[in-house]
Amino acid sequence: MSLLIVLAALAFLMFVAYRGYSVILFAPIAALGAVLLTDPALVAPMFTGLFMDKMVGFLKLYFPVFLLGAVFGKLIEISGFSRSIVAATIRVVGAQRAMLSIVLVCALLTYGGVSLFVVVFAVYPFAAELFRQSDIPKRLIPGTIALGAFTFTMDALPGTPQIQNIIPASFFGTNSWAAPILGTLGGVFILIVGMLYLESRRRRAAREGEGYGEQLLNEPAPFAGEKLAHPLIAITPLILVGVANYLFTRWIPRFYGETQSFLPSVIGDPAPVVQEVSKLAAIWAVQGALLAGILCVIVFAWRPVIASFAEGTKNAIGGALLASMNTASEYGFGAVIAALPGFLAVATALQAIPNPLVNEAVSVTALAGITGSASGGMSIALAAMAESFIANANAAGIPMEVLHRVAAMASGGMDTLPHNGAVITLLAVTGLSHRQSYKDIFAITLIKTSAVFVIIGLFYLTGWV
């Protein structure tokens, strides 16, 4: 019964998300409904002590990233930089390769260390412009961005700085470059198969005479200036964000050390406020990089930016609030579900799978799907099962690097179910619904999940690491 309660809560939340209802409202209803059916006395304590604690904790850490990312994306739009980049892209690769262009831009940003959520805000303005000029249906934008940002550069390619590739290192004693051959081959598989799928969708829409669409929501405002910036100037803020993020990630820990504390200037005898820099350096780096990118856009496009700054940033802030609250509610839902007996039953049952790598892959992707979070599901799975994974791998002669790569790639598999925070953010930013665009996101999810088993098969066939 406890297992059915967890699955029912998950199914209910996926259903309401797909139907277009607000996850901010229904995530706590789904989570507390499961608690009510498990132990009614814990509804209030879990709501305040777990759901709200995790939700507010998420906002405390990540709302500035959402806010700065939304403002950066809006300035890229109103400055005309997005249109300049699109025009140059069409000249170089052709209008028929619009999807590949967006995938590659997303891939470069995420592999450069830019947060997935920031990539959504930054890339959407010129993705919409490029799709409009190429007359490709707007409903295909979420699937295209998902392929570029949520898949091979998130956790497959060796060296990616995304958190999904960092978490396994602390459990297996590896580093972000673990299993470079398997990771690269898995990434190539995802890119090729994903592009074949998206191109087949584009060709089908073209045969049926479907264009970009009309009366759509959240459309980027048309550029009001007379002359577009040079493409090299237009792309400079995007490059700056990636480079600055890389540099800040290395400079901040050196400047502050392991911890930083200060005494608040208030009446009385306050305790010092201590910040663990190791846990915050990556977030501070992204915030600093986005500020640098925003200033770069303002410097290069002063007149059009200032002319529309007030109204444009109001819209950006509204979008950031909605996106961050959606994701934070999902985070709270996952925390409550992970604390229920039914979730433990799932985790225990998954340990019965005999093959070590298949066991790890299924366990991580299943828990990521239930929690709606790649990093959250993987953290829970590895915290509970890493020792058994390691013991079984050692008995079978499997290197720790392979365990690392399988765990990382599996975390980004079934995590993108309809209730996933990144999916909801992506759809909110693009102004599309689950019914319009989730089919393509789910297809990319299936391709990403199958890639994990492809690299497992390659390892057993060749022994490559």
How far is the C-alpha of 442 from the C-alpha of 429, rounded, in Å? Answer: 18
How far is the C-alpha of 53 from the C-alpha of 333, rounded, in Å? Answer: 11
How far is the C-alpha of 71 from the C-alpha of 77, rounded, in Å? Answer: 10
Q: What is the dihedral of CA 264, 266, 268, 272, to 10 degrees?
A: -10
How far is the C-alpha of 83 from the C-alpha of 413, rounded, in Å? Answer: 33
- 28: confidence class by pLDDT, cuts 50, 70, 90: very high
- 460: confidence class by pLDDT, cuts 50, 70, 90: very high
Q: What is the model's pLDDT at position 225?
A: 66
pLDDT tens digits along 355-393: 999 999 999 999 899 888 888 788 878 887 889 999 999
Angstrom distances, CA of residue 289 to CA of 136, 228, 285, 295, 409: 32, 25, 6, 10, 27
- 36: confidence class by pLDDT, cuts 50, 70, 90: very high
Res. 264: pLDDT tops 90? no
pLDDT tens digits along 267-280: 677 888 888 887 78
Q: Which candidate, 132, 12, 60, places its Cα nearest to that of 430?
A: 132
pLDDT tens digits along 197-231: 999 999 999 999 999 999 899 898 776 666 888 98
Q: Are 357 and 406 in contact (CB under 8 A)?
A: yes
In sequence order, what are the residues at sequence separation of 6 or more whose Cβ sits closer than 8 angstroms to the Cβ of residue 311?
Answer: none
